[in-house]
Amino acid sequence: IAFTWIPLSEVLKTIDEGDADDVTKQRIHEGREKPGALWHIYAAKDAEKIRELLRKVGEEQGQENPPDHDPIHDQSWYLDQTLRKRLYDEYGVQGWAIVQFLGDAVFIPAGAPHQVHNLYSCIKVAEDFVSPEHVKHCFRLTQEFRHLSNTHTNHEDKLQVKNIIYHAVKDAVGTLKAHESKLARS
Q: Which residues have CB under 8 Å from 124's CB, separation 6+?
A: 116
What is the reported pLDDT for 93?
Answer: 98
Answer for the pair 148, 171: CB distance below 8 angstroms, yes or no.
Answer: no
Percent of the chain at pLDDT above 70? 84
pLDDT band of residue 1 (cuts 50, 70, 90) is very low
Q: Of 114, 111, 119, whose CA–CA distance to 142 is shortest? A: 111
Render pLDDT for 143-160 as a digit per residue (tens, 0 to 9): 766 665 566 555 456 667
Q: Is residue 95 predicted with pLDDT exceeding 80?
A: yes
What is the reported pLDDT for 148?
Answer: 59
Using the Cα atoms of residue 150, residue 154, residue 159 and residue 162 in order, give the sign of their dihedral: negative
What is the reported pLDDT for 2?
Answer: 47
Give, for 24, the enclosing helix (H) or strand (E): helix 22-29
Pick the range with the lowest mean pLDDT from 36-40, 93-97, 132-136, 143-147: 143-147
List C-alpha distances in Å: 59 to 3, 63, 70, 113, 182.
37, 5, 14, 21, 63
Hey, how many other C-beta atoms are within 10 angstroms of the C-beta on 145?
Answer: 18
